[in-house]
Amino acid sequence: MNTDYNGKNKFKSSNVIRSFQYAIQGITHTLMKERNMQIHVSISVIVVFVSFILKLSAIEWLFILFAIGGVFALELVNTAIERIVDLVTKEYHPLAKQAKDIAAGAAFIYSILSVIVGIIIFLPKIL
pLDDT in tens, 76-116: 999 999 999 999 998 999 999 999 999 999 999 999 999 99
Spacing of C-alpha 12 from chain mean position? 27
- Domain borders along the chain are 13-126
Active site residues: 75
Alpha-carbon gap, residue 29 to 31, rounded angstroms: 5
Q: What is the pLDDT of residue 90?
A: 85
Question: What does pTM read for this prediction?
Answer: 0.84
Percent of the chain with pLDDT over 70: 90
Nearest by Cα to 76 from 112, 118, 116, 36:
36
Distance CA 90, CA 8 (A): 38
Listed in sequence order, the DSSP H helices in the chain are: 13-33, 35-53, 58-88, 94-126
CA distance 104 to 106: 5
| Binding-site entries | 22, 34, 75, 82, 91-93, 100-101
* Assigned architecture for domain 13-126: Orthogonal Bundle (1.10)
Range 22-49 average pLDDT: 97
**AA letter at 10:** K
119, 121, 123, 127: CA torsion to nearest 10: 180
